[in-house]
């Protein structure tokens, strides 16, 4: 296989500088080939294998190396952290030689001290090498730290004062250890350079103490402080605080100074102290430490960490085993070992203190449930902090492992029906780990709750239940047409019917519904309201109209229409309830009913055109004469039997529209009649049956008898002459044409007239 090209190897890494940026002095010899004999002194000992690797990867010149970053080097096959450090150290040696303008002899390349190479570290000269502030720089290399202590290096300054040759000559420090020491100083130098470049100086007033000032973001070089104060003035301030408070702690001192008026001899000193910045503290960065720690792990551990532990959608053991070339059980063992190591270090290691603090900050900031944008996870270290904080990303939120939002049965209720006790719910969420500032966010994510007019209510799937919630919040009757868009109804007619039939609701007017527990008179129908008033005695019709309008908004026209129902009796301008002493007399004029014919003493035929209501399955009104022929009077009903479907014929006593026949849809469809066509209904009062017949089709040579048969549905022999048609329509031969035309059967009348003239 051909070695990769330089272009393929060079991968841009935003987090790493190129070696050319780090070793500017080497740009002058960028064209020098790495296999040049005058560079042989560099490739000795452990460095000899680097020359062979450079040849393999077609890195032929110093300039080729300068275009790469340390991250690029580590991406090369067979190049890990150690070999990358060797390559950087090689350039360090070459840079030191070039900067000093010395000869090519190996004995002279160690002349520059580490202080010359890393001048930015001189302000850190007094920093002890065993300080916990350097944990992230040592990257877990405890043995190296101990070795430096044994050979007499206790501070950063001790190292800066030495040359590479001096360190290399010490017992126990060979080429490998020397490379590690140079890399250590380079990392510390990079940290200092980045903090100076990125962090402007910020002044933190001492008055911020006790006021929740957030110091988490302060870097090591952001604050410069001069703590010189007049000792006598400070003593005076402390003595005054002790005099004013029995508390002898720092907390008592601060509370006293911040909460009381200060005397004139204390006020200037405190004012000066309050404006002085806090001292700088070199706080180790958890993300940097974890990034370095993960780099120190093997590639197999990193695969398991990335794809099993930190991934939002973890790979299965089988998937990862296939990728790594091991069994699923081996993956499980490796994962268990890795997690045990992480948890042990996190719990017990002093080097992980910054990580523990970072995790605590995350837990404090996020709690058990918060928006997903509250935590950045751009790096592996940040992902590991999130994992240690037991947070998982789901959709656009961060959720603590094992945490669940309360379900509707667990949500505390207020005294009002359908209302939520929001303070109690917030307390419940806080008790389960949700941070105070995220309780409203979590509340709005609970399935089955919704805010109506800023009030939190139950919001189940039932539209009627939702309507109850809206009425509870608004506290007044509402029109179903107004409620519909709020609750998301799809069918206004069905929604209205469900509201009016629910026992928890009360119809208080023709168009308004309220909660039943509000009390008040229920609106069932206009006729029921009229009955309720007239049970107290007769009333003038106009007085009844005004009363029902005032109480339920019923229109005057509706009251006048219902006053004609069988349940009511009009005596001039007065209306009263009908009694048995004044029975209702239905209209009895069958000769005036359109399409009604007599077949026999026990059968009638009703011919009608199928309209939209019939096709839709709605019931329809029928004439008084049809109902009375079948024996149905106000307040009674009858079931008409059919082989297809039974049909109900009823007459409500309080209805102003007369008798009603149930749905004819099934009978009409069985007869093969469509909308706009005529159907003949045959009703039998002896057997209480109903039958739907389809008229015969017209023909080209249709006789008048056949035309009458088709239009009326009468038997053909009853259509010979006019006597049969006249008897069927309750008329006489001499008046049948005029009677048919007058009642609306004009087409039948026209054919009958032709029969007379013909």
| Confidence class for position 506, pLDDT limits 50, 70, 90 | confident
Closest alpha carbon to 170 in 151, 150, 146: 151
Q: Are residues 37 and 162 in the same domain?
A: yes
Distance CA 102, CA 100 (A): 5
Average the pLDDT over 646-671 and give the result: 92
Average the pLDDT over 192-200 and give the result: 50
| Confidence class for position 534, pLDDT limits 50, 70, 90 | very high
Residue 203: predicted pLDDT: 38
Helix (H) or strand (E) holding 358: helix 353-366
- DSSP 8-state code for residue 446: S
Residue 531 token pair = 């009955």
214: pLDDT strictly greater than 50: no
Residue 212: predicted pLDDT: 34
Q: Are residues 634 and 723 in the same domain?
A: no
The mean-pLDDT minimum among 18-32, 45-59, 213-227, 417-431 falls in: 213-227
Reported as a single tens digit per residue, the pLDDT across 312-324 is: 888 899 988 888 8
What's the CATH number where 533 sits?
Answer: 1.10.10
716: pLDDT strictly greater than 60: yes
* Residues 6+ positions from 52 with CB-CB distance below 8 Å: none
Question: Is 605 domain-assigned?
Answer: yes
Distance CA 190, CA 743 (A): 106
Closest alpha carbon to 513 in 558, 555, 546, 483: 483
Q: Are residues 607 and 649 in the same domain?
A: yes
pTM over 0.75: no
Residue 248: predicted pLDDT: 66
Question: Is 468 domain-assigned?
Answer: no
Question: Is 44 domain-assigned?
Answer: yes
Q: Are residues 594 and 685 in the same domain?
A: yes
The mean-pLDDT minimum among 155-164, 285-294, 722-731 falls in: 285-294
Average the pLDDT over 580-607 and give the result: 94
Burial 459-473 (b: 16+ CB within 10 A, else e): bbeebbbbbbbbbbb
Q: What share of the chain is helix, strand, coil (3-state, %, to 5)?
A: 50, 10, 40
Distance CA 76, CA 83 (A): 10
What's the CATH number where 628 sits?
Answer: 2.40.330
Q: Which one is predicted more confidently, 721 or 85?
A: 721
Reported as a single tens digit per residue, the pLDDT across 743-758 is: 999 999 999 888 776 5
370: pLDDT strictly greater than 90: yes
Reported as a single tens digit per residue, the pLDDT across 559-568 is: 888 888 999 9
Helix (H) or strand (E) holding 241: helix 231-244
Last residue of some domain: 400, 431, 461? 400
Q: Are residues 706 and 691 in the same domain?
A: no
654: pLDDT strictly greater than 90: no
623: pLDDT strictly greater than 60: yes
Q: Are residues 708 and 681 in the same domain?
A: no
Residue 44: predicted pLDDT: 59
Q: Which one is predicted more confidently, 672 or 218?
A: 672
Question: Is 306 domain-assigned?
Answer: yes
Task: Return the SS3 of 240.
Answer: helix
CB atoms inside a 10 Å sphere around CB 75: 15
417: pLDDT strictly greater than 80: no
Last residue of some domain: 537, 558, 577? 577
| Confidence class for position 270, pLDDT limits 50, 70, 90 | confident
Residue 190: predicted pLDDT: 73
Residue 48: predicted pLDDT: 63
Question: Is 556 domain-assigned?
Answer: yes
Q: Are residues 14 and 93 in the same domain?
A: yes
Q: Are residues 616 and 748 in the same domain?
A: no
Question: Is 340 domain-assigned?
Answer: yes
CA dihedral 220, 223, 226, 231 (to 10 degrees): -90
Q: Are residues 139 and 165 in the same domain?
A: yes
Q: Based on the number of CB atoms within 10 Å of its own CB, is 385 exposed (0-12), middle (13-18) or buried (19 or more)?
A: buried
Q: Are residues 543 and 678 in the same domain?
A: no
Question: Is 202 domain-assigned?
Answer: no
Reported as a single tens digit per residue, the pLDDT across 140-185 is: 677 788 888 888 888 888 888 887 777 877 878 876 777 778 878 8
Range of the domain at 728: 696-758
Q: Are residues 297 and 166 in the same domain?
A: no
Chain-centre distance of CA 400, in angstroms? 17
pLDDT, averaged across the chain: 81
433: pLDDT strictly greater than 50: yes
Q: Are residues 602 and 636 in the same domain?
A: yes
State the total domains in the chain. 5
| Confidence class for position 206, pLDDT limits 50, 70, 90 | very low
Helix (H) or strand (E) holding 616: helix 612-616
CA dihedral 129, 132, 136, 137 (to 10 degrees): -10
Burial 236-273 (b: 16+ CB within 10 A, else e): ebeebbeebbeeeeeeebeebbeeeebeeebeebbeeb
Last residue of some domain: 400, 433, 452? 400
107: pLDDT strictly greater than 60: no
Question: Is 241 domain-assigned?
Answer: no
């Amino acid at each position: 296989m051909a070695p990769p090209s330089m272009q393929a190897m060079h991968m841009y890494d935003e987090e790493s500088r190129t070696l050319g940026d780090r070793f500017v002095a080497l740009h002058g010899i960028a064209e020098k080939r790495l296999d040049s004999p005058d560079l042989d002194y560099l490739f000795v000992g452990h460095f000899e294998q680097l020359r062979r690797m450079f040849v393999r990867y077609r890195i032929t010149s110093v300039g080729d190396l300068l275009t790469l970053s340390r991250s690029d080097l580590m991406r090369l096959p067979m190049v890990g952290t150690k070999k990358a450090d060797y390559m950087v150290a090689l350039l360090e040696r070459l840079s030191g030689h070039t900067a000093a303008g010395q000869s090519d002899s190996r004995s002279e390349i160690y002349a520059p001290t580490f202080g010359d190479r890393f001048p930015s570290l001189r302000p850190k000269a007094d920093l002890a090498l065993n300080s916990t502030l350097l944990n992230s720089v040592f990257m877990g290399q405890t043995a190296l730290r101990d070795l430096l202590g044994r050979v007499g290096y206790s501070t950063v300054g001790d190292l800066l004062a030495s040359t590479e040759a001096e360190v290399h000559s010490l017992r126990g420090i060979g080429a490998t250890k020397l490379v590690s020491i140079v890399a250590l100083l380079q990392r510390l130098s990079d940290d200092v350079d980045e903090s100076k470049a990125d962090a402007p100086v910020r002044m933190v007033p001492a008055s911020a103490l006790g006021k929740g000032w957030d110091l988490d973001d302060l870097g090591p070089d952001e604050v410069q402080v001069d703590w010189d104060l007049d000792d006598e003035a400070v003593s005076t301030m402390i003595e005054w605080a002790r005099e004013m408070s029995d508390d002898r702690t720092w907390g008592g001192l601060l509370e006293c100074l911040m909460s009381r008026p200060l005397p004139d001899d204390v006020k200037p000193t405190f004012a000066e102290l309050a404006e002085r910045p806090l001292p700088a503290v070199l706080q180790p960065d958890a993300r940097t430490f974890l990034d370095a720690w993960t780099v120190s792990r093997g590639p197999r551990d990193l695969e398991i960490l990335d794809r099993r532990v930190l991934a939002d959608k973890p790979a299965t053991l089988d998937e990862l085993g296939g990728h790594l070339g091991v069994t699923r059980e081996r993956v499980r063992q490796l994962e268990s070992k890795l997690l045990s190591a992480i948890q042990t270090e996190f719990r017990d290691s002093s080097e992980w203190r910054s990580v523990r603090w970072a995790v605590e900050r995350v837990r404090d900031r996020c709690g058990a449930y918060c928006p997903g944008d509250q935590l950045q996870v751009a790096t592996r270290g940040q992902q590991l902090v999130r994992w240690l904080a037991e947070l998982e990303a789901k959709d656009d939120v961060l959720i603590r492992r094992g945490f669940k939002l309360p379900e509707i049965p667990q949500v505390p209720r207020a005294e009002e029906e359908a209302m939520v006790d929001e303070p109690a719910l917030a307390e419940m969420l806080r008790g389960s780990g949700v941070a105070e500032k995220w309780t409203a966010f979590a509340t709005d994510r609970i399935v089955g709750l919704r805010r109506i007019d800023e009030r939190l209510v139950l919001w189940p799937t039932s539209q009627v239940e939702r309507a109850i919630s809206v009425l509870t919040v608004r506290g007044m009757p509402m029109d179903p047409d107004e409620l519909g868009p709020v609750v998301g109804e799809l069918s206004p007619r069905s929604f209205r019917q469900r509201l009016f039939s629910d026992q928890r609701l009360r119809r208080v007017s023709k168009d308004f519904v309220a909660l039943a527990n509000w009390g008040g008179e229920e609106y069932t129908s206009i006729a029921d309201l009229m009955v309720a008033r007239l049970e107290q005695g007769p009333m003038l019709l106009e007085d009844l109209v005004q009363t029902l309008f005032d109480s339920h908004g019923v229109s005057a026209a509706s009251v006048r229409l219902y006053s004609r129902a069988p349940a009511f009796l009009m005596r001039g301008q007065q209306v009263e309830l009908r009694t048995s002493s004044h029975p209702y007399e239905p209209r009895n004029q069958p000769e005036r009913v359109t399409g009604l014919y007599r077949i026999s003493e026990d059968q009638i035929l009703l011919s009608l055109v199928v309209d939209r209501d019939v096709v839709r399955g709605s019931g329809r009104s029928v004439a008084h004469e049809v109902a009375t022929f079948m024996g149905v009077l106000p307040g009674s009903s009858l079931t008409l039997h059919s082989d297809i479907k039974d049909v109900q014929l009823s007459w409500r006593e309080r209805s102003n529209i007369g008798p009603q026949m149930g749905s004819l849809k099934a009978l009409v469809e069985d007869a093969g009649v469509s909308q706009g066509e005529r159907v003949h209904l045959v009703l039998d009062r002896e057997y209480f049956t109903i039958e739907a017949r389809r008229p015969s089709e017209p023909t080209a040579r249709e006789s008048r008898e056949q035309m009458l048969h088709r239009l009326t549905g009468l038997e053909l022999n009853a259509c010979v002459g006019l006597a049969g048609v006249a008897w069927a329509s309750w008329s006489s031969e001499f008046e049948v044409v005029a009677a048919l035309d007058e009642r609306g059967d004009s087409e039948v009348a026209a054919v009958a007239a032709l029969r007379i003239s013909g």
